[in-house]
Amino acid sequence: MTTLIETICEAFSGGQFPGESDLTNSFGEEAEALVRDFRSRTDWRALSPEFLNQAPEGWGSALSFFSGRALQFHLAAYLIADVESTLNIADPSSRLCAFLVYGYEAKKLAKFYGGGSLGEYARKEFALFTAAQVSAIVAYLWWKLEQNGHDLIIEQALENYWLEREATL
């Protein structure tokens, strides 16, 4: 566990806060709350599990509303809190896997949201991750799979994207 946390910390240590204007690509009340909650949080290491579980403003849905750059910056805090068993609501494995599995990957997005498919959208966001970050994510997903036992969503996401991505970097 400690080695995994060290791997995550090292991989994400050089990340830069995306700025208030690039915290979300979404619209609406939860997205606005996310900006309010995260605009001054420029160090992911200082985000407590209590904050992560409730952000934004009690919904606990921040992972769903982050832009790609905001996800890249804040993800390590969520991964570490999950490894330390202090996340109660947020699930980083869902954010990293859900749109990469059969049944969801090909679902179409409305043109208003950029068009394409959910899988294409996820791949575009995940393309921002560095080689070290991808390796840390893969290590986390293997750990999560070990914790959960059989988890078809994580298994498919590893097979459909993450392992190939790691091998090609």
Entry pTM: 0.94
Give CA angle at 125 (167, 162), nearest 5°: 25
Residue 84 DSSP code: T
- Percent composition of the chain: helix, strand, coil (DSSP 3-state, to 5): 65, 0, 35
Q: What is the pLDDT of residue 154?
A: 97
pLDDT, tens digit, for every residue of 68-80?
A: 999 999 999 999 9
pLDDT, tens digit, for every residue of 70-117?
A: 999 999 999 999 999 999 989 999 999 999 998 888 888 777 777 889
